[in-house]
Amino acid sequence: MVHRRAARSFPNCLLGNRAGTWGGKRKNVIVTENLHSLLHKIEQLNSIGIALSAQRDTPKLLEQILVGARSITGADGGTLYTVSEDRCLHFEMILTESLRLAMGGTSGVAVPFAPIPLYDASGNGNRHMVAPSAVLDDRIINIPDAYDTTEFDFSGTHAFDRRMAYHSRSFLTIPMKNHRGEIIGVLQLINKLDARSGAILAFTREDEQLVSSLASQAAVALTNKELIDELKALFESFIQLIASAIDEKSPYTGGHCRRVPELTMMLARAAAAAASGPLRDFNMSDGDYYELEIAAWLHDCGKITTPEYIVDKATKLETIFDRINLVAARAEIARRDLEIGLLRQRLAQLGQDPSAALPELAPALAELAADLAFLRQSNTGSEFMAEPQRERVRAIAGKYRMQLADGEHGLLSDNEVTNLCIARGTLTDEERKVINHHITATLRMLEKLPFPRHLRRVPEFAGGHHERMDGKGYPRGLRGEQMSVQARIMAIADIFEALTASDRPYKKAKPLSEALAILGRMKQDSHIDPDLFAIFMQERVYLHYAKKYLDITQIDIDAPEEVPGYPF
């Protein structure tokens, strides 16, 4: 016999009018026992509901649902299914207490059974099986004896019983609905057991109502978990989108945005694992690691506002294009003007062969070629430019004059002279201010976002990676004690990645020995945190990162003791 009832919520009274049909002292004892039993089950239901609402781990959540349902009904076993987008029921967990059988959930044992389709190839509903039928018809199915029904196909269950020497008799199958009324899963219990004798009983009306209430709470918990996971995935995808946007704008900083989080997390884990030293009390939870990783991904998001011709400025004269080629074109004009001028002078002397003047022109042309070669070398910005070299640039600018359609011009414009006289790197002071503004933009952008409580420190972590221990950094000029350990970790990661990166247009990738030497001097100059630098070196964080991201030719150091500031 099969009992069918539409799924519904927990009623106000489970006893109905049964108590009125009994009499005498025995009646009162039974009613009292039933009432105590019911109250105990309601307490269990409430406890399970509270536990479900607090659980954020999906396998544990699924396990709590099934274990809770077994507990309040006294069932020996059960199965939890979820409805997938491919219109199948997927086995999430199977438990049978008497067989000591546990699959799925936190058991570590995968469920070996294939999903159960809700429809056949022709689109007909799979109503010959219990769990799909509960979904298709949105109903509770209570089967007192699976060996005494012909409505459903239990051949697979019977085969299992024969193989395991088991007897699957009573079944209670209840669909699980979310807040939109959509069925997202099925909770199926097997073999209700008598608490005293252990005999298999049919599931009762009270069991249906209790499990229906639990199924409703479980569906809400699963839906909430799903929504949280979806929002988290959306949030993380949005972060990746920002990094991709920077990557599209500048492929050089795009790699930086992906590598800094890796190095940041390596150093953070090493610092949190320190058992001695100044950082021995520094600890991080899983939530702390996640918060730091998000900050690391977002640490340069302000660069999306920085003009790409500054971010990617590979040479001193580069803007939309490298203007050294424009200077070379002017030099060619100057060369021709020199030649033409001298030839015209000779032509004025009647009877003189113009070609006879060319040997006199050779020294001037050689000087022009040497000056142009010097300008090309100065344009790279690869070495420090001393004052005598800058003075030579200014001299070259006024040495050559050429006549163009709009008047007389020198070889270099004032702006080109300013750029070619940059002492270090390729950026002018104004351009460096634009670059530095990216961290201010980062802070402004992040501080406008309504981060949840567990991510509230993301702006501080991300916005502090250009600060210095001595207070000479930017944008806020914070000193070391004013910064979190996480922000100081990101500062080291940001610098080391930039030093060793091979995808920058304005410099060559530095080998480990040179990068660590620079980092060591920064430690000595109170630029970076000395305690974190010690861990960076002692735990070989630099080497773990190098083996993953650097070219093997860059890994050139065997004795880190030679690094400035080491040993400590």
CA-only gyration radius of the chain, Å:
38
CB 487 within 8 A of CB 469: no
CB-based contacts of 487, cutoff 8 Å, min separation 6: 460, 461, 463, 464, 465, 467
The token pair at 29 is: 């004892």
| SS3 at position 300 | coil
| Residues of the chain predicted below pLDDT 50 | 1, 6-22, 30-31
Relative orientation angle of helices 251-272 and 205-249, to the nearest 10 degrees: 130
C-beta of residue 301 within 8 angstroms of C-beta of residue 242: yes
- Nearest to residue 118, comparing CAs of 147, 65, 77, 81? 81
3-class DSSP assignment, residue 188: strand
What does CATH list as the number for 3-227? 3.30.450.40
332: enclosing H helix or E strand: helix 324-347
pLDDT at 9: 43
Number of H helices, E strands in the chain: 18, 11
Determine the pLDDT at residue 16.
42
pLDDT at 316: 57
- Helix 530-538 / helix 485-500 crossing angle, nearest 10 deg: 60
- The number of CA neighbours under 13 Å toward the Cβ of 383 is 9
Residues 332-353 as b or e (16 or more Cβ within 10 Å = b) = ebbbeebbeebbeebeeeeeee
d(CA 79, CA 91): 7
pLDDT tens-digit map of 53-86: 655 666 777 777 788 888 888 999 999 998 988 8
Question: How many other CB atoms are there within 10 angstroms of residue 227's CB atom?
Answer: 12
Cβ proximity of 381 and 426 under 8 Å: yes
d(CA 74, CA 251): 62
Which residue in 221, 186, 227 sits closest to 49, CA to CA?
221
Closest alpha carbon to 506 in 435, 413, 554: 435
Instruction: Please state whether beta strands 200-201 and 401-404 pair in parallel, antiparallel, or not at all (unpaired).
Output: unpaired
- Say how far apart CA 191 and CA 75 lie, in whole Å: 5
The b/e string for 93-113 (b: 16+ C-beta within 10 A; e otherwise) is bbbbeeeeebbbbeeeeebee
d(Cα 279, Cα 555) in Å, to the nearest integer? 28
Tokens of 92: 């999430």
- The tokens describing 90, both together, are 């997927």
Q: Which CATH class is domain 250-284+292-297+457-562?
A: mainly alpha
What letter represents residue 51's amino acid?
Answer: A
pLDDT value, residue 507:
61
Q: Give the separation between CA 8 and CA 2, rounded to whole angstroms.
A: 18
Tokens found for residue 201:
């009983």
Consecutive H or E run containing 88: strand 88-96
Q: What sign has the CA pseudo-torsion 255, 258, 261, 263?
A: negative
Residue spans of the domains in the chain: they are 3-227, 250-284+292-297+457-562, 324-426
pTM over 0.85: no
How buried is residue 330: exposed, middle or buried, by Cβ count under 10 Å (0-12/13-18/19+)? buried
